[in-house]
Structure 1
């Protein structure tokens, strides 16, 4: 990373936390990934805007990181900057049924906050291991719920560095996508609109879903959740199982024996192991069934 870029960032945001050559294995749920040239942790919107402004001006590639729960970083690392939102995690009530959450707030924390305020509608997201910023970009969902159903508004930074507001219709939510995906908008916060409910019933539903996840998903191993998008008319896990790939391994990476839709780090896997396993699964499923599996996981760096 060019020292002039670091100096410029420090000049406009003297207190901003910057780390060189940070290992991304510390920041992804796969627990893999090499070093990133510069790891940035803004503590407020001004620091976020300032860092992005300098990086854009210098034409330096950067990636906005939530919980790293949908990310595979190359073992070679990433020649650019990672901007973590983990310090941008405020959650509060906007009124009696609306929750304001900054981009770095974990979905599990928001679900607990909603429960504690007797608000229902967000129970489905309690076990989604990511932040609300990432959830908005991909319209995260589970158990018949999705962000589309609870989102009132998103605030985001435009490529010009302006904070804009996008309502539910403008976000164009679809299956694991939104108008934010693939664009240069950076989610700053979300406004969720829920309904008043019974706290005991909300708690019971969250416990029920937690038990379902524990029973069906390999939560005891590092993973990025469901590895592949659901192909139209099929289920990815069923296709992978029918292709005879249950338990298939490459190095320390494995197709989960508990749920074939999950690729797990069984022990000391590298990103290269995981990447090759994903490619092998895609090829075998296509060869057997003519179905192209599209990864949900974002690949960052050179593979």
Structure 2
């Protein structure tokens, strides 16, 4: 890994660190170290880096702003690539928006709403990056990324770079084709509609306020832990089972929203995983409903 780190530094790809604690890069503030951590300085640097990585055969994975992520306590072997600064460019051309995968979703929603562009109001207050939102088909309030994405610029594991259309992304509830591919969302092109600025901003703000009032972002957390087993809602089932406030170590089922697990200060990934397992077994026993995690779990 030393040799690879030296090669990457020599090719000027951006920030390169060994044994970087991933707790510093997730909203849950939990996670062991990345064997090698790279934050590319731009899309060209991503390409250069992938050419070098491909030759070595070292495993790699990508994170965005770490808002939908739980990293295990022993960390991640291989390379963790963080797309943030350097891949956060933005171009607005009428109703078409081209945006880098590392761009903050909250920032994008706020900016475009103020420009009188409608279609992203549902994402008011959703943390994380544009790339992560496309990858997971993030959504709320009856809409999601699949409704506005025109195409996505993807870097595949074999080094191929390709624009995938909305149809080729194979979107469904909180998923896309990228769950089955090792790939990076470099950019997204979205199609919005011009509308009344004040109405759009008010809708975006309402969604943002709702999130703030109903979700416990005053504690480190990773957002919704479970997918909704429609027509049921995960939070409602967990609350009905009387699990709100249940705690294992430093990990607690939020008193505010039962589909959130919060880090009360010293939680380990093991605490969170044990709590997830406890919730799942309780809900199966009580309601014969199997909950599936929405949060992505990585590492060892």
Flag whether TM exceeds 0.5 (same fold). yes
Report the secondary structure of 1:169's partner residue: coil
How far apart, CA to CA, are the structure 2 residues paired with 1:231 and 1:269?
Answer: 27
Contact residue 105 and residue 127 of structure 2 kept, 8 A = yes
Provide, for residues 8-62 of structure 1, a one-character-per-residue CA deviation record: whole Å limited to 9, x for no partner: 3234x22521011111111001011111111101011121122223223322121
Count of residue pairs the alignment pairs up: 299
Q: Any residues of structure 2 matched to 1:7-156 within 5 Å, and which?
A: 7-11=6-10, 13-87=11-85, 88-93=87-92, 95-156=93-154
Q: Any residues of structure 2 matched to 1:177-216 within 5 Å, and which?
A: 177-216=175-214
> TM-score, normalized by length of structure 1?
0.95
Report the secondary structure of 2:91's partner residue: strand
Report the secondary structure of 2:180's partner residue: coil
> TM-score, normalized by length of structure 2?
0.96
RMSD, matched Cα: 1.3
Report the secondary structure of 1:224's partner residue: coil
1:165 aligned residue (163, 166, 169): 163
How far apart, CA to CA, are the structure 1 residues paired with 2:297 and 2:154?
Answer: 23
How far apart, CA to CA, are the structure 2 residues paired with 1:75 and 1:89?
Answer: 29
Provide, for residues 66-105 of structure 1, a one-character-per-residue CA deviation record: whole Å limited to 9, x for no partner: 0101111111111221101111101121x20011110000
How far apart, CA to CA, are the structure 1 residues paired with 2:285 and 2:55?
Answer: 45
Gaps of 5+ in 2: none
Deviation at 1:214, TM superposition (A): 1.8
Deviation at 1:160, TM superposition (A): 2.7
Asked whether 1:299 is paired with 2:297, we answer yes
Gaps of 5+ in 1: none
How far apart, CA to CA, are the structure 2 residues paired with 1:301 and 1:84?
Answer: 15
